[in-house]
């Protein structure tokens, strides 16, 4: 599974990865969508025509117009502006929770795999125990005790999110530990930290990135779901899941209030998943070059 | 590969959808069969967690009855007691109706009534406080003697409360837990499914009054308002209430569905923690009052399922003081100047006022089973922001909210409570020992007036006292009233005989309701 190219060379040449990504049309779509969403999130204050939390009862539930391109919600807030700012929240939450989980998981996996023995045993049994918790039940319990809110939701998701990363990284580290370039680095007398950081870490990043691209949409969906239930983002935060829930009251009369955030959630999750699929194929040495025939 | 996979997916989907539609048709044909034997399926808003609930037993399922009841003109009417008199200052005698039998066939005696009332009074301090009952005993077969600890001229009013329904002692196990409600009402208990919360009652052929036309009522808990609306449209339920406010116009146009609005004596109110800054300052409370656009909230949040109000009572109640309505106009500028006067000024220019370096940041807690409350909290949040207050909305469970309130760990709660009994409402919310006085409001004048009302038998004179109380509490505003409730009742057009009773907790079903369905063949 892991070809040993050399001590200091990264094993995933960027150009080739990009090339296979571009050749795969689904991946291209996913990648472009993610970039567009990221731009929308970054440029929200300039793109949004209105303040997303500013209420104006005089404009409540108005249909799409030049002033309000997608109309307004029951509080007279611009739907388009809320969707745009919602991208900020969803991406920020996804990246933050995904990034934290990946960081913690990688660190734990590296340490466990590299040192082995008792350290490995302890960390992996902890992972096993936490793995036994049903994900959603755990998050609900945390939010139930600490109170609803985005911060607590993200904390709860990270608390279980790192497990997969730790397992994957540990496995890869175990096999890399015995590889020639690590053995030679050790023979040269490099410190453990340096071997882990400079020699093993770059080689486990591939699977970590792939896992993270799957973890981000999972997190976005989880947060949207919890916000829909009223446990995640609290009003008036323009979070897509919360907007979907608020729009539910007008499901039959002003369906756009529900459909629009729904589409945004679907598109975002789809984009990340497509990108993740393609990344997985592009970074998998066995399938290199065949990603386009997925 | 992928194509094959997709194809099999589609086939599966088609198969599933065919099976599902098949099921749906089957279900509707059985429900039509049930209609023939006069079944009313009610979409209930609240999940039934326990049967030991007077509102459920008296007003919804009609299993049990109270001694007295209040009619829609707020006059006391006899039910199980036919007459009553005050024999001494603190002693009352109630004559029970002859020939009434419990559902198990046993006759209703004064001893049974004494047992039932004593159980509730001992278990429920709120009822004890309102009735002031110290002892209940049978003074003969059909005469019930009630002694109060102090003079309480409003005992008959208090006895109309659904909590004080008369259940046979056979309803309880040795531990005193309700196992099977046996009452005297027009319907008798059939079943309660603890998993789904569904309650079924059937006609009581031996009822002392008019025997109902319905043979069965089914109470199906559907906590979500949108789901209730869909179920009503589909004909899965025949009768329901608290429909989603934004959907009423559309629902009314659905063939076979009728929606009607009834003003209910129930208030949306913002409770304030007056024991702490900033709500201990009258100017702040007045500022909040002026900051709220009540008309806007009623129009856009409640979609006119309500009435903007400053006082706590429905406008047509005979004790309502309509003059207080002019007290707090929607005037953000006035609100701002009141806050400035109280020392809350935005010094750092972030749009939020501060005092002694502390920002004006508050939390509005509310719960979601009443569809109007979460969006109303959001509207309040924005309106408070306009005058420089940073409000955070928290949607929690009812129980969690009042646990926090009990611990003193709160700022404000957006709540909704029934106001049909003026004495009960004023005493419990504004009386210094009131069970709902979460603000910890203490005003000796209010206490004295409430006491005086309890000693005033003539309704008109008593109502005048209530009007005086309303004036004081509007000025002091320990609780900010926002709007009166309107109950949106929806039913299929073949449901007849529904009459709204404003005294019920949200609403009564009527035992006289029936189903008149044209057979379409």
In this prediction the pTM is 0.79
Distant-in-sequence contacts of B108-113, Cβ < 8 A, 24+ apart: B108/B80, B108/B166, B108/B184, B109/B138, B109/B141, B109/B142, B110/B138, B110/B139, B110/B140, B110/B141, B110/B142, B110/B143, B110/B144, B111/B138, B112/B166, B112/B168, B112/B169, B113/B67, B113/B80, B113/B138, B113/B144, B113/B166
The reported pLDDT for the residue numbered B61 is: 94
Query: Which residues of chain B neighbour A56 with C-beta distances below 8 Å?
Result: none
| Residue positions counted in chain A | 294
Nearest CA in chain B to A149: B394
Whether residue A249 and residue B247 make contact (CB cut-off 8 A), yes or no, is yes
Query: Which residues of chain B neighbour A55 with C-beta distances below 8 Å?
Result: 379, 382-383
Q: How confident is the model at residue B184 (pLDDT cuts 50, 70, 90)?
A: very high
| Residue positions counted in chain B | 521
Whether residue B378 and residue A60 make contact (CB cut-off 8 A), yes or no, is no
> ipTM exceeding 0.85?
no
Q: pLDDT > 90: what percent of chain A?
A: 44
Residue A43 to chain B, least CA–CA distance (Å): 22
What pLDDT digit, counting tens, does each position of B317-366 carry?
Answer: 889 999 998 889 999 999 999 999 999 999 888 889 999 889 999 999 99
Substitution target in B6, B231, B244, B292 with the highest count of A β-carbons within 10 Å is: B244
Give pLDDT < 70 ranges for chain A.
1-13, 21, 285-294
Task: Provide the mean pLDDT of chain B.
Answer: 88
| B39 has a pLDDT exceeding 80 | yes
Q: Which of B293, B368, B395 sits opposite A57 (nearest CB)?
A: B293
| B141 has a pLDDT exceeding 70 | yes
Whether residue A235 and residue B377 make contact (CB cut-off 8 A), yes or no, is yes
| Residue B482 or residue A29, greater confidence | B482
Residue B231 to chain A, least CA–CA distance (Å): 14
What pLDDT digit, counting tens, does each position of A36-53 carry?
Answer: 999 999 999 999 999 998
The reported pLDDT for the residue numbered B391 is: 93
């Amino acid at each position: 599974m892991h070809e040993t190219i050399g001590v200091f060379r990264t094993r995933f040449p960027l150009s080739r990865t990009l090339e296979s990504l571009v050749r795969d049309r689904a991946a291209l779509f996913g990648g472009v969508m993610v970039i567009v969403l990221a731009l929308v999130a970054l440029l929200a204050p300039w793109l949004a025509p209105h303040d997303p939390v500013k209420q104006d009862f005089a404009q409540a539930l108005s249909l799409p117009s030049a002033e309000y391109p997608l109309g307004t919600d029951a509080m007279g807030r611009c739907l388009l502006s809320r969707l745009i700012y919602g991208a900020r929240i969803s991406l920020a939450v996804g990246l933050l929770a995904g990034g934290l989980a990946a960081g913690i998981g990688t660190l734990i996996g590296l340490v466990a795999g590299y040192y082995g023995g008792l350290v490995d045993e302890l960390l992996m049994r902890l992972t096993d125990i936490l793995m036994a918790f049903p994900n959603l039940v755990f998050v609900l319990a945390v939010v139930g005790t600490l109170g609803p809110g985005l911060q607590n939701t993200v904390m709860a998701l990270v608390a279980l999110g790192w497990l997969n990363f730790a397992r994957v990284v540990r496995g890869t580290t175990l096999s890399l530990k015995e590889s020639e370039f690590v053995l030679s680095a050790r023979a040269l007398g490099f410190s453990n930290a340096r071997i882990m950081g400079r020699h093993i870490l770059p080689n486990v990043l591939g699977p970590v990135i792939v896992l993270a691209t799957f973890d981000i949409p999972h997190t976005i969906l989880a947060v949207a779901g919890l916000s829909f239930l009223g446990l995640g983002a609290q009003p008036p935060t323009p979070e897509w899941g919360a907007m979907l829930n608020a729009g539910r009251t007008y499901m039959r009369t002003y369906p756009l209030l529900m459909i629009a955030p729904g589409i945004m959630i679907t598109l975002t999750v789809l984009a990340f998943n497509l990108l993740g699929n393609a990344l997985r194929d592009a970074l998998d040495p066995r399938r290199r070059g065949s990603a386009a025939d997925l | 590969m992928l194509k094959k996979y997709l194809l099999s997916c589609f086939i599966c989907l088609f198969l599933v959808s065919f099976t599902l539609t098949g099921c749906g048709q089957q279900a509707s044909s059985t429900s039509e069969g049930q209609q023939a034997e006069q079944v009313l399926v009610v979409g209930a808003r609240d999940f039934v967690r326990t049967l030991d609930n007077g509102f459920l037993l008296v007003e919804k399922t009609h299993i049990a009855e109270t001694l007295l009841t209040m009619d829609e003109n707020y006059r006391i009417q006899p039910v199980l007691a036919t007459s009553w008199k005050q024999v001494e200052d603190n002693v009352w005698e109630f004559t029970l109706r002859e020939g009434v039998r419990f559902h198990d066939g046993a006759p209703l005696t004064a001893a049974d009534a004494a047992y039932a009332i004593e159980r509730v009074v001992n278990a429920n301090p709120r009822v004890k406080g309102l009735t002031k009952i110290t002892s209940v005993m049978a003074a003969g077969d059909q005469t019930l003697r009630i002694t109060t600890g102090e003079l309480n001229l409003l005992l008959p009013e208090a006895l109309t409360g659904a909590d004080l329904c008369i259940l046979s002692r056979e309803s309880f196990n040795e531990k005193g837990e309700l196992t099977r409600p046996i009452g005297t009402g027009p319907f008798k208990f059939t079943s309660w499914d603890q998993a789904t919360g569904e309650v079924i009652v059937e006609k009581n052929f031996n009822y002392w009054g008019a025997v109902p036309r319905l043979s069965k009522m089914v109470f199906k808990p559907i906590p979500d308002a949108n789901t209730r609306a869909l179920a009503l449209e589909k004909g899965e339920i025949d009768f329901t209430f608290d429909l989603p406010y934004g959907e009423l116009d559309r629902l009314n146009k659905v063939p076979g569905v009728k929606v009607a609005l009834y003003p209910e004596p129930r208030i949306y109110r913002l409770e304030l923690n007056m024991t702490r800054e900033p709500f201990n300052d009258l100017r702040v409370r007045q500022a909040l009052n002026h900051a709220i656009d009540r008309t806007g909230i009623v129009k856009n949040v409640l979609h006119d399922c309500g009435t903007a109000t400053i006082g706590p009572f429905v406008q047509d109640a005979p004790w309502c003081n309509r003059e207080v309505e002019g007290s707090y106009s929607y005037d953000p500028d006035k609100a701002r100047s009141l806050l400035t006067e109280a020392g809350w000024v935005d010094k750092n220019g972030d749009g939020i006022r501060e005092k002694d370096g502390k920002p004006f940041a508050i939390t509005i807690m509310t719960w979601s089973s009443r569809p109007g409350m979460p969006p109303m909290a959001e509207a309040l949040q924005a309106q408070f922001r306009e005058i420089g207050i940073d409000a955070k909305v928290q949607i929690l469970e009812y129980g969690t909210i009042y646990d926090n309130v009990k611990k003193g760990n709160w700022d404000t709660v957006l709540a909704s409570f029934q106001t049909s009994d003026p004495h009960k409402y004023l005493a419990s919310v504004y009386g210094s020992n009131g069970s709902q006085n979460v603000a910890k409001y203490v005003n000796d004048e209010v206490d004295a007036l409430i006491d005086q009302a309890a000693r005033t038998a003539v309704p008109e004179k008593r109502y005048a006292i209530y009007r005086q109380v309303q004036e004081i509490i509007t000025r002091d505003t320990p609780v900010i009233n926002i709007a009166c409730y309107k109950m949106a009742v929806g039913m299929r057009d073949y449901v007849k005989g529904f009459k709204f009773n404003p005294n019920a907790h949200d609403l009564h079903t009527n035992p006289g309701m029936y189903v008149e369905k044209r057979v379409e063949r």
